[in-house]
Structure 1
Amino acid sequence: MNAVQKIGSFMSKYFAFIVILVSLIAYAAPGAFVWLGAYVTILLGIVMFGMGMTMKLRDFRVVAQQPAPVFIGLLAQFLIMPLAAFVIATIMGLPPELAAGLVLVGACPGGTASNVMVYLSKGDVPVSVAMTSVSTMLAPLLTPLIVYLLANQWLPVGAGDMFLSIVQVIIIPIALGLLAAKFLPDFTEKGQAALPLVSVTAIILIVAAVVAGNVENIATSGLAVFAAVVLHNGIGLALGYLAARVTGLDETKRRAVSIETGMQNSGLGAALATAHFSPLAALPSAIFSVWHNVSGPALVSYWSTRGAKKEKE
């Protein structure tokens, strides 16, 4: 393993701690990071290009081979998370920007880190990868529509403009990544070694940019947003698992659906909120980026402990 891979592995392993540390630094010295706000879209595009380089045709074949768990997972993804965000924002009486931002991150597709969490939890990885891939491809249509239906009461939502933004920062970079993988295999093979480092760094910089742009807002509303995000993520993980259980899926698929439902592409949420709402609306996505990388490993540890206990019995 070369130096880049070692650094990437280290940053992926301790991502939550690193992003919390960088967030604290950005809060204490916002001037050093606030300029990154202009590059959030580019940073997310880099992450999506890397995702495209790793995507394979077999990721979508799972949909034909195992349509039920993927379909159930997608329903959970695009129903549970947005509706939970809407209910939480309404009950907590969040300010319009924060309410819309919470709904926005709830309407985003699954995050790529979810696949790693499913693998570590001994869940169904092919189903997890298929859910991430398909939900990402559906995002240009479903994310703007859901945000318009649920958040338009708080802030004006330009669904058409949001559709174009998602195509620009998600679909086009992924398509370029797929083309690179097909026509430049040597470049892709060498580039994949650096992908964890590049992706993690990009997400950390996005979070730092949002934190630096919201220093005053964090001081006044940070605790409420954190509570809303923790509750939102927990509901997604729990109801995702319950939905899979009620529909008769086995344990490995329940874990996949649970994690896919609860872990969002919060980088996309931050980019869309910054571009179409306000820096404050991006705050729920930034906090989500940190928190779901804490709750995900915690859930994996719980399942591992429970599995070891059952084997012992």
Structure 2
Amino acid sequence: MTADPLLTLFLPVALGIIMLGLGLSLGIADFARVVKFPRPVLIGLGCQLLLLPLLCFGLTKVFGLAPALAVGLMLLAASPGGTTANLYSHLAHGDVALNITLTAVNSVIAILTMPLIVNLALMHFMTGDQAIPLQFGKVLQVFVIVLGPVAIGMWLRSRFPGFAERMQKPVKLVSALFLLLIIVLAVVKDWQTFVDYAPLVGGAALAFNLLSLAVGYYVPRLLKLSLRQAIAIGMEIGIHNGTLAIALALSPVLLNNSTMAIPAAIYSIIMFFTAALFGWWVNRAHGRQLAAEAA
């Protein structure tokens, strides 16, 4: 696939605005909270960084996904939680502070883990002439594109807290529009593949989404975390940063493969409905316990 000038220009700008919005909502305290309350953060990160890629790999085999689609689903599994998880966690009475901390920490760790998981997936699923490994130079580009805007957002929040507070809403709105545009780009750029594989990829994406929510909720419960913490981790793991996965897949200077963007595009639509149903179910089933924990 040849480099598309629109994608070369548009994707870094879109991703930069989205990550700037994340930075505007973060402070040093969100990272410091790991030291004060390490257990729930470590459990959440363990689920996201270890369990999910393994489960996702199993799903690619169960559904028999084509190589590029399998890599795309693994790319999604390696992506950190999205900032929308904070909103859903709030609506479901989860521990939003834990969400913010997990998003902050995992967004940094993902800079290292995403290239590792993607490279392993490329080596496993793609033949030698198909694989385009994320070499150090490309990893460095991801680092700058992702962490640069986050750092700027955090700096603005520390220096101009009032301005950062006012800007959070409009930046989130613009981010949502960019997410929609990126999904449309992903679909339009490889429409025939989308039509051919949507039913199968849709099933795999739905299964992965439900597994993500289940792992994020039940593992913390088994390890005796509070209900509010389990809800937060469930939302954090169930709502992936699909925008980042799509941007890496489509970017002409990175993976440059629109087929790899399809799983994340479909997942990004599914997750909003399943996360809402999950929040409704857990509040209906455990409403009294949540009220007691919040009191």
- TM-score, normalised relative to structure 2: 0.88
Aligned-pair RMSD on alpha carbons? 2.0
1:31-50 paired onto structure 2 within 5 Å: 37-38=7-8, 39-50=10-21
Alignment gaps of 5+ in structure 2:
291-295
Q: Which of 154, 159, 169 is the equivalent residue of 1:178? A: 154
Tell me the equivalent position of 2:213.
237
1:308 CA drift (Å): 4.4
1:60 CA drift (Å): 1.4
CA distance in 2, matches of 1:37, 1:140: 21
CA distance in 1, matches of 2:155, 2:241: 22
| Contact kept in structure 1, 2:27 and 2:158, CA below 8 Å | no
Question: For the structure 1 residues 67 and 105, does the alpha-carbon distance in structure 2 shift closer, same or farther, using more than 3 Å as the test?
Answer: same
Alignment gaps of 5+ in structure 1:
1-33
Tell me the equivalent position of 2:164.
188
1:301 maps onto 2:280 in alignment: yes
Tell me the equivalent position of 1:106.
77
CA distance in 2, matches of 1:123, 1:151: 36
Deviations 1:132-156 (A, max 9, x none): 1100011111111122234421232
| Contact kept in structure 1, 2:24 and 2:165, CA below 8 Å | no
CA distance in 2, matches of 1:128, 1:240: 12
Tell me the equivalent position of 2:101.
130
1:181 CA drift (Å): 2.2
1:189 CA drift (Å): 3.7
Tell me the equivalent position of 1:97.
68
Tell me the equivalent position of 1:22.
none
Task: Please tell me the residue identity of whatever aligns with 2:141.
Answer: S
Q: Which of 227, 238, 243 is the equivalent residue of 2:203? A: 227
Task: Please tell me the residue identity of whatever aligns with 2:213.
Answer: L
Task: Please tell me the residue identity of whatever aligns with 1:286.
Answer: A
1:247 maps onto 2:232 in alignment: no
| Contact kept in structure 1, 2:27 and 2:157, CA below 8 Å | no
Tell me the equivalent position of 1:197.
173
1:302 CA drift (Å): 1.1
Tell me the equivalent position of 2:293.
none
Question: For the structure 1 residues 116 and 48, does the alpha-carbon distance in structure 2 shift closer, same or farther, using more than 3 Å as the test?
Answer: same
Instruction: Indicate the percent of aligned positions where both proteins have the same amino acid.
Output: 30
1:166 CA drift (Å): 2.2
Task: Please tell me the residue identity of whatever aligns with 1:296.
Answer: A
- TM-score, normalised relative to structure 1: 0.83
Question: For the structure 1 residues 37 and 212, does the alpha-carbon distance in structure 2 shift closer, same or farther, using more than 3 Å as the test?
Answer: farther
Q: State the secondary structure of the residue aligned to 2:125.
A: coil
Tell me the equivalent position of 2:260.
281
| Contact kept in structure 2, 1:99 and 1:151, CA below 8 Å | no
CA distance in 2, matches of 1:56, 1:310: 30
Q: Which of 46, 69, 74 is the equivalent residue of 1:75? A: 46
CA distance in 2, matches of 1:130, 1:176: 18
Q: Which of 170, 190, 213 is the equivalent residue of 2:189? A: 213
The count of residues paired between Structure 1 and Structure 2 equals: 278
Deviations 1:264-296 (A, max 9, x none): 111110011112330010111111111111111
Deviations 1:72-106 (A, max 9, x none): 10010112221122111122211111000000000
| Contact kept in structure 2, 1:63 and 1:130, CA below 8 Å | yes
Task: Please tell me the residue identity of whatever aligns with 2:208.
Answer: H
4+ aligned runs moved over 6 Å, structure 1: none
1:85 maps onto 2:56 in alignment: yes
